[in-house]
Amino acid sequence: MPRSAHTISRRQISENALKVLYRLHKSGFKAYLVGGGVRDILLGLAPKDFDVVTNATPEEIKRLFRNCRLVGRRFRLAHIVFGRDVIEVATLRGHHVDNTDSGDKIAKTNASGRLLRDNVYGTIDEDAERRDFTVNALYYDISDFSIHSYGGGLQDLDSRTLRLIGDPETRYREDPVRMLRAVRFATKLDMNIEAKAAAPIPNLAPLLKDIPAARMYEEVLKLFFAGKAKKNYLMMRKLGLFNPLFPLIDTQLNEEDNAPVVKLISQMMDNTDLRIAEEKPVTPAFFYAALLWYPLSQRADDIALESGLSSYDAYYAAMGDVMEQQCNSISIPRRFSTITKDIWQLQLRFERNRGTRAFKFIEHPKFRAAYDLLLLRADAEGGAIAKSTAWWKSFVEGNEEQRSVIARSASKNLPRKRRSNQGRRRKPTAEQDKTDS
């Protein structure tokens, strides 16, 4: 498609991406803006990233840019760093051949067909066939400002169809994360996954268990922290993709639709989307605290029954177990997992800190996050937890004078602890003193 036939302007491309494209072009290499950057501009969206492909090898790219670092083993990439902005540059991929029997292992797959290593370079035509979806096989050529579309990508943009390039099962086996990308693109771009592309997903979903936990953490951020959490959650459950990521919670979600766990997670997803729409901060710590609250409660009950520990101690023991099991599928950084445990621990203190203790309790740095989870639990469960939450809501939303009245009234109504006589020494009588002497 020549420049005169499309709407992409260089004004819509980041200045740093243009610098990379022009330097590659002036150095005698082919250079294209590719994938999401081209796709989103054509759809009238603001691109999040500007990726570049070229026929220059990673080593040749590094020689051209002093601000370049090479990354990746499975796919060798060049990152051109402009302060906080990073332009990712890939060499055009060719058709891979598994040479595991030869000395030169340029490509390698495992038993399930997943690509473990693949640094095979080729032409733009071959690179396009290696792309996952047709709407991502779009190339903006900096040499003449034309667009190269492969596999009917432009037509699929118009019809809002998400179509895989090649045989779906083979492509999913090469990289199971493509199943999650299909969900994410479908909701982000308001597209329908082609029936042929959707059909193999439920059977192949377990392949996600073989993906490194660190990579899955990044995919979860893209799925649930971009404003489409609720839609992605529902589609993942429909296609069987939720279980490999969150096995602890998926079994509980198979209960009736009005179960507390279903209500809490649904409301949490809605709240996350709302906060992002309002440009408010969201954190993985709260996300995992809410998502795993009921598995934590179940594990704590099991521990208390098996060991005879108090409910409080059982919850503490369960926190480590639940977090460890979740990290087997999704690697949660400690800076978030620690806060998640703080939020859980504070749930146990709400009932004990009503009354005058509430003034000190609300000063805890993680109080607000714990309080937000308490509100979700109250909406999901009702009953006693809703009654306790109503008191906290009136206290949190009241002014200083109102809080004092609310706290005093609660302190009067709290049951007083009986003082035990065990261990207390009575003052001996004169007769006892004489006997002791």
% of the chain with per-residue pLDDT over 90: 73
The per-residue pLDDT for 318 is 95
Residue of 40, 132, 156, 273 with catalytic role: 132
Catalytic residue status for 118 = no
Catalytic residue status for 49 = yes
Domains and CATH numbers, the chain: 1-159 (3.30.460.10), 160-252 (1.10.3090.10), 349-412 (no CATH)
pLDDT mean over 113-132? 77
Catalytic residue status for 302 = no
pLDDT exceeds 90 at position 342? yes
What is the model's pTM? 0.84
pLDDT mean over 189-197? 96
The per-residue pLDDT for 97 is 58
pLDDT exceeds 80 at position 113? no
**Quick one: three-class SS letters along the chain?**
CCHHHCCCCHHHCCHHHHHHHHHHHHCCCCEEEECHHHHHHHCCCCCCCCEEEECCCHHHHHHHCCCEEEECCCCCEEEEEECCEEEEEEECECCCCCCCCCCCCCEEECCCCCEEEECCECCHHHHHHHCCEHHHCEEEECCCCCEEECCCHHHHHHHCEECECCCHHHHHHHCCHHHHHHHHHHHHCCCEECHHHHCCHHHHHHHHHHCCHHHHHHHHHHHHCCCCHHHHHHHHHHHCCHHHHCHHHHHHHCCCCCCHHHHHHHHHHHHHHHHHHCCCCCCHHHHHHHHCHHHHHHHHHHHHHHHCCCHHHHHHHHHHHHHHHHHCCCCCCHHHHHHHHHHHHHHCCCCCCCHHHHHHHCCCCCHHHHHHHHHHHHHHHCHHHHHHHHHHHHHHHCCHHHHHHHHHHHHHHCCCCCCCCCCCCCCCCHHHHHHHC
CA-CA-CA-CA torsion for 100, 103, 106, 109, nearest 10 degrees?
Answer: 10
pLDDT in tens, 225-267: 999 999 999 999 999 999 999 999 977 887 666 689 999 999 9
